[in-house]
Amino acid sequence: MSADTSRRIVLLRHAKAEWSQESDHERPLAERGRTDAPVAGRKLADSGIVFDLALCSTAVRTRETWKLAVHEMPQRPKTVYEERIYEASLGELIALVDETPDDVSNLLVIGHNPGMHALADALSGSSEGDALARLARGGFPTAAFAVVEFSGPWKTVEHGVGRLTAYWTPND
């Protein structure tokens, strides 16, 4: 792939989780989360993006979100359950994205806030329509996703390189 290869990173926040006696890492999805996750999966399928790789946090709620969302997609991408996504800082998430193999054109990251919101905001130097304003105004609710496009190798991902082309929340 050439240096000007168009790439997409899609950031999906886990669906609504229970507040339980479990440790934070072990919290399962709430009933609303089990409803919203497949809807997010259908919206991702409707986008026409075919994912080459999915990186999913190891937390129970992200794994459950992914299981319900991917079931709605036409094909399941290679999935890597990545411990480093859980509680990752913005810098740690950018470093993780930078490690993406160059044969990947479309990357999906299933993670948590504040990381998903921070990464979408940081990478988006511009946006289509009001997507950036909606992201700033509405935050990054559970089961929401953002699509950021950029050109070049993954190792060049940094602040402002991308264009926010879609931002969807379950309330849309």
138 pLDDT tier (thresholds 50, 70, 90):
confident
pLDDT score of 1 more than 60:
no
CA–CA separation, 153 vs 132, rounded Å? Answer: 23
Per domain, the residue ranges of the chain are: 6-168
Q: What percent of the chain has pLDDT over 90?
A: 88
Conformation bin of residue 59: beta by default, left when phi > 0, alpha when psi is -120 to 50: beta
What is the rounded distance in angstroms from the CA atom of residue 160 to the CA atom of residue 150? 10
Average pLDDT over residues 111-120: 97
**What is the average pLDDT value for the chain, to the nearest integer?**
94
pLDDT band at 26 (very low <50, low <70, confident <90, very high): very high
CB atoms within 10 A of CB 87: 14
Q: Which residue has the higher pLDDT, 20 or 91?
A: 91
Residue 3 has a pLDDT of 56
Residue 102: what pLDDT?
93
- Sequence-distant (6+) residues with CB within 8 A of 172 are none
The predicted structure's pLDDT at residue 69: 98
CATH of domain 6-168: 3.40.50.1240
**104 to each of 28, 36, 67, 98, 113, how far by Cα in Å?**
30, 27, 21, 12, 24
Residue the block writes with tokens 């940081």? 122
